[in-house]
Amino acid sequence: MKTINKLQSDVLIIGGGIGGLACAASLKEHNPELDVLVVEKNFAGYSGKANRGGGVLQYFDLNRIDPAEFAVFHANAIGAFLGDQELMMKYVSMNTEMLDKLASWGVNLPKNDDGTYHVMPTGPMTAMICVDLDITLKVRKYAEKLGVRFIDKTALAELYKDGDHISGALVYSILDGELSLINAKRIVLATGSQNYRIGSMWSSGRGDGIAAAYRAGAAMRNAEFGNFAQLAKVKSHNEIVFGENFMYNAKNEFITKNFREFRETDINSNAIREWYTQMTAGNGPIHLDFGPQGGDDGALERLWNRPYGHKFRVLNDESGNAVDTDLEICPMFIGEQSPIMVGHDMQTTIPGLYAVGDCCYSGSGLAGAVPAPPGRNRGSGILNAVFDALVCGEAIGTQKIEASFGAISDAAVEKDVNALFAPLDKADGVSPVKVIEFVQKAMAPVELSVWMHKDRMDKAMGFVNEAKKLVPQMKAKDWHELLNCREAEAMVLSAEMHYKASEMRKESRGWFLREDYPEMDNKNWLKWIIVENKGGDMTLSTMDVPIAGWPAQPQN
């Protein structure tokens, strides 16, 4: 058997994006004695999404807005009664605390001369703040100062339990395959969502943490809400936030009016359906026309001074603008499946295993019937991760942690190591790219994954099954490609969960659109779909949404 380093930590955090880093900082603040280790596939602080995105943070003026009021608005307008309203109220009520926490960790939050945050209203209840994109570097630096340890360029392979309780993880270096078995009393997954490598900026979301949790037996919830799509320019593929308010067909008819009366801050799946309907009717291509005021590239940069992120954003915009000779658009499938089920303390269904951020945004129930982030709730990606991190940090940081470590079975580890390295030992086989191609064929076309119908989903499942057949044949020439194999396998799993759960949900709700079941069905479907691995088989069941005591109730 290959040599395996034996390591230990009280709390092991997998993933060093904003969720993992904020959790590490929070844990140490609650209990400085805890030994906290972060293992990151790339470089914690540089990796993940918070530093490549818009940097928009949702802001609630808590002097003006009652958290219950927002929960009601959200349930009616966004989450379609599938969201956990109790959690939403807690999320809103912690808004100022989260921002102040980030600021205290050294994150550059823009302020006015009088010391208040520089905020811009976005709707009757919401507003936003723009943070500079070194946010994750700042939090890593702070966590290091508190004594958090880091291992970079190292990926999670498998999780282990002693009885029911989490006991450790097998990780491997993506540089040279060095293996480590880490005994831990608590593990926090902060590995991000599943994006299937389609949208470029989202491409680090490959779902391998979700897959490891699933294999270990953790339940998944809301896996069918992992089908986010955004409008993008057809040449540069740069996304156009807000573009859905300005859609025209080739006859120059204003087609936005077919699915919404008023401008909204966020895209909904009806915009995607409208694009498809117009295209199939021969009315394409579809373009945007912002009118005399033009598009708003760079608006954020003008409003907020963000020295770190400035060059990055300018390079992106300039390069895209050089190829975009027109404003023709099409959907870009982004996915954002985030299904690890957690309770109000961020614990998964495996005792001792927690999850925070994008790997469990839908799974926490916060978002309701929309893919998340952004969950039609702009600026909630980063803050949801910080919210989860603070809740999880407090939950673990205030626990009395047992002195001894749980056991890890040698036989299980040996089996997993052999399976992990199997693609490297093959003389012949298929490239992981081949597997990913089949998954992308199943997920990317929006008429399969967003505007759904049983017949089209069956076609998509055909591609998923093709991909699945190739998984055991994957071959890797080096450690980088081995990682690609693991990620490809995780993508197959995510796609399978998406389509199985989507076929089961026989209604339309929120973002979730089925041509064959166009109505929302509160009588039968105020339910969450739970996906679980039972002895290697994917099983689906439902759980009633405990809506009775919550502020918002559906009318019918």
Partner 1 sequence: MINTKHKIEFDAEKCVGCQQCYKSCFVDVIRWDKEAKKPVFKYVEDCEHCFYCQSVCKKDAIKVVPDYSSEHLMQSFEAYK
Ligand X SMILES: Cc1cc2nc3c(=O)[nH]c(=O)nc-3n(C[C@H](O)[C@H](O)[C@H](O)COP(=O)(O)OP(=O)(O)OC[C@H]3O[C@@H](n4cnc5c(N)ncnc54)[C@H](O)[C@@H]3O)c2cc1C
Residues that bind partner 1 (CB under 8 A): 41-43, 45-48, 51-52, 152-153, 174-175, 197-198, 200-201, 203-204, 232, 234-237, 279-280, 282, 284-285, 311-312, 315-316, 319, 323, 330-333, 433, 436-437, 440-441, 444-447, 480, 483-484
Q: Are residues 142 and 105 in contact, defined by beta-carbon separation less than 8 angstroms?
A: yes
Q: How far is CA 381 from CA 106, 201, 262, 355, 500, in A?
A: 20, 14, 25, 15, 26
Are the beta carbons of 357 and 387 closer than 8 angstroms?
A: no
Among 13, 18, 218, 457, binds ligand X (CB under 6 A): 18
If phi > 0 it is left, if psi is from -120 to 50 it is alpha, else beta; for residue 237 that is: left
**Which CB sits closer to ligand X, 212 or 408?**
212
Residue 15 binds to ligand X (criterion: CB under 6 A): yes
Write each residue from 103 to 142 as x if it is in contact with ligand X (CB under 6 A), else as -, in one continuous string: ----------------------------------------
Residues 150-169 within binding reach of ligand X (CB under 6 A): 155-156
Closest CB to ligand X among residues 209, 226: 209
Comparing CB distances to ligand X, the nearer of 40 and 134 is 40
User: Is 65 or 170 the residue whose CB approaches ligand X more closely?
Assistant: 170
Phi, psi for residue 546 in degrees, rounded to 5: -80, 65
**DSSP states of 282-332:** T---EEE--GGG---TTHHHHHS--HHHHHHHHHHHHHHHHH--S-EEEEE
Nearest by Cα to 446 from 438, 456, 454, 458: 456
Closest CA to 8 of 181, 144, 151: 181
Pick 297 or 532: Cβ nearer partner 1: 297
Q: How far is the CB of 70 from partner 1 (least distance, A)?
A: 32
Give the single-character DSSP code of 471. Answer: G
Q: Is 309 in the site for ligand X (CB under 6 A)?
A: no
CA–CA separation, 240 and 4 (whole Å) = 47
363 binds, among partner 1, ligand X, none (CB under 5 to 8 A by kind): none
Q: Look at residue 483 and give the partner it binds from partner 1, ligand X, none, a contact being a CB closer than 5 to 8 Å depending on partner kind.
A: partner 1
Q: Among 35-43, 275-283, 305-313, 408-416, which window interacts with ligand X (CB under 6 A)?
A: 35-43
98/526 with CB nearer ligand X: 98
Q: Which two tokens stand for residue 536?
A: 């290697």
Question: With helix as H, strand as E and coil as C, how does 184-205 read?
Answer: EEEEEECCCCECCCCCHHHCCC
- Bridge partners (DSSP) of residue 121 are 127
Q: Is 16 in the site for ligand X (CB under 6 A)?
A: yes
Binds 71: which of partner 1, ligand X, none (CB < 5-8 Å by kind): none
Tokens of 555: 């009318």
- Closest to ligand X by CB, 205 vs 371, is 205
Site for ligand X in 225-264 (CB under 6 A): none
> What residues from 363 to 402 belong to the interface with ligand X (CB under 6 A)?
373, 379-383, 385
Instruction: Give the nearer residue to ligand X in terms of CB position, either 314 or 543.
Output: 314
Total interface residues for ligand X by CB under 6 A = 41
- Closer CB to partner 1, 88 or 155, in the complex: 155
Nearest CB to partner 1, comparing residues 200 and 542 = 200
Indicate if the alpha-carbon torsion angle 510, 514, 518, 521 is positive or negative: negative
Which residue, among 4, 122, 49, 48, has the nearest Cα to 377 in the 3D structure?
122
Task: Tell me which DSSP letter residue 100 carries.
Answer: H
Question: What is the longest distance spanned by two Cα atoms in the chain?
Answer: 71
Residue 436, binding choice from partner 1, ligand X, none, Cβ under 5 to 8 Å by partner class: partner 1
CB of 281 to ligand X, least distance (A): 31
Query: Restricting to residues 485-514, which ones interact with ligand X according to CB under 6 A?
Result: none
Nearest to ligand X of 205, 397 (CB atom): 205
Instruction: Look at residues 82, 33, 88, 85 and name the one whose alpha carbon lies nearest to residue 58.
Output: 88
Helix pair 479-504, 432-443: axis angle to 10 deg = 30
Residue 55 makes contact with ligand X by CB under 6 A: yes
Q: How far is the CB of 489 from partner 1 (least distance, A)?
A: 15
Rounded to the nearest whole angstrom, what is the least distance from the CB of residue 207 to ligand X in the complex? 8
Of partner 1, ligand X, none, which one sits near residue 385, judging by CB under 5 to 8 A according to partner kind?
ligand X
> Which helix (H) or strand (E) is 543 found in, with range?
strand 537-544
Is residue 191 part of the contact set for ligand X (CB under 6 A)? yes
In order of 54, 58, 350, 374, 483, the CA distances from 92 in angstroms are 20, 9, 27, 15, 38
The site for ligand X (CB under 6 A) is made up of: 14-20, 39-42, 47-50, 52-57, 155-156, 190-192, 201-202, 204-205, 208-209, 357-358, 373, 379-383, 385
